[in-house]
Structure 1
Amino acid sequence: MQTRKQVTVFLENKPGRLAQVLSRLAQAKINIVALSVMDRHEHGVLRIVTEDEAATVKALQTLNAHFTESDVLAVELKNQPGALAHICERLAEDHISIEYAYCSSGGRNGKVFGIFKVSNLEKAQRLLSESGKNQRKIEKPTLRDQRSYKK
Structure 2
Amino acid sequence: MSNFKSKHNNAELDSILNYVDASKGLEGRVTETGKVQIRQDVDRKEFSFYAYEVGEVLQRADADGKAFLQLNFKNGTKVLLTEALVGFKPVETFGLDMNRLPKVVTTPDLLSVYEAIEEALGSDTSEHEVEILKKVYQSILLGAEKVGFELTFERRWSNRLMASKIRASA
Q: TM range, normalised to the smaller chain?
A: under 0.3
Highest Rg: 1 or 2? 2
Greater per-residue strand proportion: 1
- The alignment's TM-score, normalised by the length of structure 1, stands at 0.26
Between the two structures, name the one with larger relative contact order (CA 8 Å, sep ≥ 6).
1
Greater per-residue helix proportion: 2
